[in-house]
Structure 1
Amino acid sequence: MNKTATHIIGARLLHALALAAFVAFALFPLFWLLKVSLTPDDLMYGEGVRLWPSRVTLDHYGSVLRHSQFPLFFRNSLIVSAATGLLATAAASAAGYAFSRFRFRGKAWVMGVMLVSQMFPLVIIVAPIFRLLSPLGLTNSLSGLVVVYTAFNTPFAAFLMQSFFEAIPKDLEEAAMMDGATRFQALRRVILPLTLPGLAATGGFVFTAAWSELLFSLMLNSSAAVSTFPAGLLGFVSKFSVDFGQMMAAGVLALLPVGAFFLLIQRYLVQGLTAGAVKG
């Protein structure tokens, strides 16, 4: 075996080891989440730090599903995230198409304002948002969260969709319009089907952002009836103790819809992320 072949094999082995180490590092928190959720209370501190408990139990999952408000929080998060994903993706698609296809006065300013809106720490605008929504009756409501999440996720989603639309040649819709289609018909019948991967990637980003958001859910809602699961997880923390078993079990259950959603759109998501990175 010559030196070149040895060098190639060594480089590939090193690359595989580095990739395996990265995957293990990324997945270890999820493994520990699952491990703690299956550990009985009497072994939580009695066995010390172990990779896997000597005995497992599903009691924490049963307690979360039967004796806590987690099912309500789960439902609220699902409603808010799905509604936010649909609204923000639709608004971002319209904005991204306009930015990629039209030239209009003030376009640079509009894009600049949208970009600047993503630079502010959310904690400094919680109070103004609360003062704005309170007279409208949108605090302590799922509708208020949908409005806020849609407003804050649409700008970045619009930039994502703009890159996807710019990757589609204008000749396609121009050919459709020459055949008698209106611009809207060309968009609906020609362009949007080609941007399904982009729509999936954008929808996945917005859904995940809304699903995991804590600050606004905690500050705008004081009623458990409209709390989402990130805020609901705080219910497992009491003044003097933390029920780690039930908290981790709730965390595992909360991962299921996100995992299922990304499995459904995996093919479109990979295509969208790669297509959006290449202009042409």
Structure 2
Amino acid sequence: MRTKKLLLTGAHRLAILAYIVFALFPLFWLLKVSVTPNDLLYTEGVRLWPSRTTFEHFEFVLTHSASPIFFRNSLIVSGATALVVTILASLSGYALSRFTFRGKYWIVALMLVTQMFPLVMLVAPIFKMLSPLGLTNSLTGLVIVYTAFNMPFATFLMQSFFDGIPKDLEEAAMIDGATQFMAFRQIILPLTLPGIAATLGFVFTAAWSELLFALMLISGNDAATFPVGLLTFVSKFAVDFGQMMAAGVMALIPACLFFLLIQRYLVQGLTAGAVKG
């Protein structure tokens, strides 16, 4: 019995280790190619680390390309989208969790239906809607589109957190003279900080890595985001993998830093949001 348990534990750990290697190896390869000189990329063959390293790709990306502009645009769009979506999702999620009103079922059903359409079939209609308003080739247009597509998931996520908080807390606060909004702002929101962190993290990452709408709605470098900017390293006849991978490493930094800042709340949020109290 003990031997069987040890074998099972070992198998579980081996599976976890294999998954970690599978998940992290592409990131390792990204870093490896980004510090490999161009003359070694195609001559050394397959090896875990180059015989000689260089930071010339990073230097080029920072000083001789439009990557800093792409970086700034992505930060603005992702940050604004995450902030707007989290605020709106908190309000709408609270309403769905606490109130009963006519049409509530149909609103939820409509939000679910919007998640069933492939995004590619919506590009042309959205472009035709935004173009007369002057919102194509602008960061504002991207924020609006990203907000619309992230709202349903963020709303359901926040609703799951509000469902796990007893209504007695609000009722006690209102008995003491607080309004519904005061109870929401001063009591409920602080208790849902893990959920807010989880929502911020998911929405920020989704906006940061989005390519389809950024590619179709943006036509110039002034409003291009980082995923679109990565395509500038691809020409008609060649691909500069070193510079592209260096830009990819730089693109990972903000998302990693963001998750490091909110990781404590994020872990609590992912576990708490999965269970309704």
TM-score range, shorter chain: over 0.9
Task: Give CA-to-partner distance per residue, 1:180-215, whole Å, 9 cap, x none.
Answer: 111111001100000000000011110000000001
Residue aligning to 2:105? 108
Which string of whole-angstrom CA distances, capped at 9 and with x for unpartnered residues, describes residues 46-81 of structure 1? Answer: 001111111111110000000000000000000000
In the alignment, structure 1 residue 98 sits paired with structure 2 residue 102? no
CA distance in 1, matches of 2:198, 2:86: 10
- Residue of structure 2 equivalent to 1:60: 57
1:31 and 2:28 matched? yes
Question: How far apart in 1 are the matches of 2:203 and 2:231?
Answer: 23
User: Is 1:192 aligned to 2:192, yes or no?
Assistant: no
Give 1:10 shift: 1.7
Which AA in structure 1 matches 2:19? F
1:258 match: 255
Query: In the TM superposition, what are the counterparts of 1:1-280 in structure 2 within 5 Å?
Result: 4-280=1-277
Return the alpha-carbon distance in structure 2 between the equivalents of residues 92 and 19 of structure 1. 34
Q: SS at the partner of 2:250?
A: helix
Instruction: Provide structure 1 residue ranges, at least 5 long, that are not aligned to the other structure.
Output: none
Kindly report the root-mean-square deviation, in angstroms, between the aligned alpha carbons of the 2 structures. 0.6
Whole-angstrom distance in 2 between the partners of 1:80 and 1:67: 23
Task: Give the paired residue count.
Answer: 277
CA distance in 2, matches of 1:233, 1:168: 43
1-structure distance, mates of 2:249, 2:57: 11
State the alpha-carbon separation in 1 of the partners of residues 251 and 173 from structure 2: 44
TM-score (norm 2): 0.99
State the Cα deviation string for residues 164-183 of structure 1 (Å, max 9, x = none). 10011111111111111111
Deviations 1:196-239 (A, max 9, x none): 00000011110000000001101001011000010010000000
1:122-177, Cα deviation, whole Å (9 max, x unpaired): 11111110110011110110000000000110111000000010011111111111
3-state secondary structure, aligned to 1:197: helix
Quote the offset at 1:6 in angstroms. Answer: 1.9
Unaligned runs of 5+ in 2: none
Alpha-carbon distance in structure 2 between the residues aligned to 1:70 and 1:278: 42
Task: Give the alignment's TM-score, normalised by structure 1.
Answer: 0.98
